[in-house]
Amino acid sequence: MGMRSFARLRGFALCAALATTAAGWTGAAPPGELPPAKAEQLLARLPLRFEPNQGQHSAGVRFSARNPQMSLDLSARRARLRFPGQAPASLDISWPGSNWSPGIVGADPAASKSSYFLGNRKERWRAGVPHYKGVRYQGLYPGIDLLFYGAGSDFEYDFHLRPGADPGRIRIRFRGADQLSLSPEGNLEIQAGGNRLVQKRPVAYQPTREPAGYRTVECGYRRLGRDVVGLELAEYDRSLPLVIDPVLVYASFLGSGAEDVIVSVKVDAAGMVYVAGYTTSSGFAVSEKAIQAAIGGDRDVFVAKLNPAAAGADSLAYFTYFGGSGSDTPTGMTLDAGGNVYLTGYTASQDFPVGGTGPQSKPGGSTGEDAFVVVLSPGLEDPLYLCYGTYLGGSASDIAYGIDIDAAGAIYVAGVTKSSDFPLAGSPVQNALWGIQDGFVAKLDFSLGGSNALVYSSYLGGDGIELCRSIAVTPSGMIYVTGEKYTGDYFPITDSAFQPNYRGNGDIFVTQLDLTRPGYDAIVYSTFLGGSGPDEVRRIVLAPDGGVLLTGYTLSTDFPVTPNAFQRTAGGSGDAFLAKLDPSGRGAASLVYSTYLGGSATDVAYDLATDPQGNVYLTGYTLSPNFPVTPDALRQVASGGVDIFCTRLDLAAPPARSLVYSTLAGGGGIDVAYSLAVSSGGVIYLAGYAQDRALPVTGNALQSAHGGGLADGFILVLAPR
């Protein structure tokens, strides 16, 4: 294989949501049909597919695709975007100076098909029209192919350059554009018929033989006429491959000279990114209306809100410290549809900032840690501000690890306590501390005020050492909680358990609770999950089709796996795992999916998420030189240090094809991803900490260099095909 490079130009993003599409719809849907708005919402969740023209489209169209905002017709000389609505508009994309007759072929066949039964003339019917995930223009320019594809429900395209190909030959013309301009950030902005489309500034890097693995190259668009643009690159090593605007959309450090760690990342519907972490640094530039302008103790919480569409300092929408005079550490964060931020963790501060009418305004003891729960609420144009806050704990040590919310805004937290006087409420499953330490589960509703805000609270444990790590709440209010049991014999397990017995050395437990039932009756399902070695869980989330998904890591060579596993055997000294449980299956049938994920060394997963198509995403760190990666990875070769990994699995696919995307990221030092979030379009947001200085950053980074301390937080945004 020779040297290969490719250029990737970010796909279109329509900024007025469904306004143009929905403008023509009025009234109710006919009986038996979905309302148009609902139909559009369902279509928006479907992955984009291209179908060949077999007579169902206009002559000259070779392939076609559509999403709720626009349709795309691909012909030999152009790609035509059509925008529906009361005033339909179109935009033609062509490539001046290109081959007049490139080969146009479907790329990556999909399992779905379309059928058209038009009128009563069978010769016009088309059944079983195949779908493709992309369309390739072969030899559009010498040595250059053009690939159209979908990222979720959005259109995107790449230029793929073979060795020796000249990126300077690429020209892109936009006919039908009312206005075409370059923003100060280098983004290409296109106005067409009242629709605004944005192509992000391309980013370029080169793989190198240096320990860092790659270096960035300045790249941008250049205007070549009223409606024509090309590419402009700084000098680069012509003997090495060049990647222009890869899947790395945004990458930035976030640190200020001491120890700064991001523990959670979330993204809202507008693409704004929220991160929470802890810091020992005093040098952060806070927002004008920050809750707390300076660090209050030896370690404080911080919350930041970023806009990856902006550049540099403009991308930081908000930053605040948050903490007391002691040590304060967040462990979990979630976000509601209104952009309200819910945080939990633990504090050793006697003056931790609490607000509103929480159930516990003072710490439970004078030593040790208490759990905390806080709500920060952003206005539409205002910074975040403290809405509610509370301690949660007794006279000994109490730590909250997991947090989730329901549709009504009630908050659910899970963690661990050594307090015999941990505050209880409702009808607890367990009303006393049974071992050295137990897990706990609590439900809070700050709108009830004071002590009433603690709606439910219970110990959850056995006769030894247990803790709860993560919690997930179903739309019906059912709770799933997971954690570990380390010692002792007893833990509440149901007859329907997948694994009724504790196997020793530390096993995972998964317990389903119905808080509308009193006491022990609230336990609907409870099981162990583990092998003969130590096993630990880090996150549990709801599976889109029912049940729950959980991830963590295992040192067991006999961890239970299913026949449909991607990886059925342990790869090294410790592997990540992914498991899916559905209690409705009962017994052995309740373990729907379970797999190892790792190479020949140590691999640890910290977080997982799903997308509307049912793909599962995992992240964490790996020391394995042979961690499984895909050909389109941002980085395929391990750095030799501790690398970030991000993996996407399709659990419905056969095992050999279930690894959809997997990549490494890192610069040769210690880089760990603690959290990830996934947009509806499949864009991945990773966050954690980096000790090395060589983690790649993009040209629009908030902070382009490491802060110089022990560790910096980082944010990586990936948009794999």
Q: How many helices (H) and strands (E) does the chain have?
A: 2, 47
Rg (Cα) of the chain, in Å, rounded?
27
Q: How confident is the model at residue 88 (pLDDT cuts 50, 70, 90)?
A: low
Tokens 């959980």 found at = 550
User: In whole angstroms, what is the distance from residue 508 CA to residue 529 CA?
Assistant: 5
Whether residue 9 sits in one domain with residue 124: yes
Whether residue 241 sits in one domain with residue 112: yes
Considering the domain boundaries, does residue 502 fall inside one? yes
Whether residue 229 sits in one domain with residue 339: no
Q: Which is more confidently placed, 677 or 234? A: 677
Burial of 563 (0-12, 13-18, 19+ CB in 10 A): exposed
pLDDT at 123 exceeding the cut of 80: no
Q: What is the pLDDT of residue 45?
A: 42
Q: How confident is the model at residue 119 (pLDDT cuts 50, 70, 90)?
A: low
Domain end residue (candidates: 213, 246, 279): 246
pLDDT at 699 exceeding the cut of 70: no
Q: How confident is the model at residue 274 (pLDDT cuts 50, 70, 90)?
A: very high
Pick from 334, 356, 344: nearest CA to 448: 356
**Mean pLDDT, to the nearest integer, of 501-524?**
96
- Side by side, which strands form the sheet with 260-267? 260-267, 273-279, 300-306, 316-322
Whether residue 510 sits in one domain with residue 402: yes
User: In whole angstroms, what is the distance from residue 207 CA to residue 221 CA?
Assistant: 22
Q: What is the pLDDT of residue 54?
A: 83
Q: What is the pLDDT of residues 630-639, one digit of tens each?
A: 877 878 888 8
Whether residue 330 sits in one domain with residue 231: no
Considering the domain boundaries, does residue 478 fall inside one? yes
User: In whole angstroms, what is the distance from residue 424 CA to residue 404 CA?
Assistant: 19
Considering the domain boundaries, does residue 400 fall inside one? yes
**Mean pLDDT, to the nearest integer, of 123-140?**
82
**Mean pLDDT, to the nearest integer, of 138-148?**
87
Whether residue 346 sits in one domain with residue 237: no
Pick from 168, 170, 169: nearest CA to 157: 170
- Side by side, which strands form the sheet with 328-335? 328-335, 341-347, 370-378, 384-392
With contact defined as beta carbons under 8 Å apart, do 90 and 81 qualify? yes
User: In whole angstroms, what is the distance from residue 649 CA to residue 615 CA?
Assistant: 6
**Mean pLDDT, to the nearest integer, of 221-225?**
90
pLDDT at 504 exceeding the cut of 90: no
Q: What is the pLDDT of residue 367?
A: 77
Number of structural domains (the chain) is: 2
Q: Which is more confidently placed, 444 or 631? A: 444
Q: What is the pLDDT of residue 232?
A: 86
Q: Which two tokens stand for residue 378?
A: 């952003």
Give the domain extent around 347: 326-529
Q: Which 8-state DSSP code applies to residue 45?
A: H
pLDDT at 457 exceeding the cut of 90: yes
Q: What is the pLDDT of residue 542?
A: 97
Q: What is the pLDDT of residue 211?
A: 38
Pick from 478, 598, 608: nearest CA to 550: 608
Considering the domain boundaries, does residue 278 fall inside one? no
Integer angstrom CA distances of residue 272 from 205, 268, 304, 306, 646: 25, 6, 10, 6, 21
How is 268-319 classified by DSSP, letter by letter?
-TT--EEEEEEE--S-----TT-S-SS--SSBEEEEEEE-TTS-GGGGEEEE
17 alpha-carbon distance from chain centroid = 21
Q: What is the pLDDT of residues 702-719, one digit of tens each?
A: 898 899 899 999 999 888
Considering the domain boundaries, does residue 176 fall inside one? yes
Q: What is the pLDDT of residues 8-54, one digit of tens each?
A: 333 333 222 222 222 222 223 333 333 334 334 433 444 678 888 88
Ramachandran bin of 420, using left for φ above 0, alpha for ψ from -120 to 50, beta for the remaining angles: alpha
Share of the chain above pLDDT 70, in %: 86
Q: How confident is the model at residue 244 (pLDDT cuts 50, 70, 90)?
A: low
Whether residue 360 sits in one domain with residue 242: no
Q: What is the pLDDT of residues 339-355, one digit of tens each?
A: 889 999 999 999 999 87
Whether residue 373 sits in one domain with residue 470: yes
Considering the domain boundaries, does residue 164 fall inside one? yes
Q: What is the pLDDT of residues 289-301, one digit of tens each?
A: 788 899 999 999 9
Q: How confident is the model at residue 609 (pLDDT cuts 50, 70, 90)?
A: very high
Whether residue 501 sits in one domain with residue 397: yes
Whether residue 354 sits in one domain with residue 231: no
Mean pLDDT of the chain: 84
542 alpha-carbon distance from chain centroid = 14
Whether residue 348 sits in one domain with residue 438: yes
With contact defined as beta carbons under 8 Å apart, do 460 and 484 qualify? no
Q: What is the pLDDT of residue 415?
A: 98
Q: What is the pLDDT of residue 433?
A: 97
Q: How many CA atoms lie within 13 A of 203 on its CB side?
A: 23
Domain end residue (candidates: 206, 222, 246): 246
Whether residue 100 sits in one domain with residue 230: yes
pLDDT at 216 exceeding the cut of 70: no
Considering the domain boundaries, does residue 609 fall inside one? no
Give just the sign of the alpha carbon dihedral 542, 544, 547, 553. Answer: negative
Q: Which two tokens stand for residue 305?
A: 């809100």
Pick from 262, 156, 251, 114: nearest CA to 682: 156
Burial of 249 (0-12, 13-18, 19+ CB in 10 A): buried
Domain end residue (candidates: 246, 270, 297): 246
Q: How confident is the model at residue 383 (pLDDT cuts 50, 70, 90)?
A: low
Q: How confident is the model at residue 565 (pLDDT cuts 50, 70, 90)?
A: very high
Considering the domain boundaries, does residue 316 fall inside one? no
How is 542-564 classified by DSSP, letter by letter?
E-TTSSEEEEEEE--TT----TT
Q: What is the pLDDT of residue 511?
A: 98
Q: How confident is the model at residue 56 (pLDDT cuts 50, 70, 90)?
A: confident
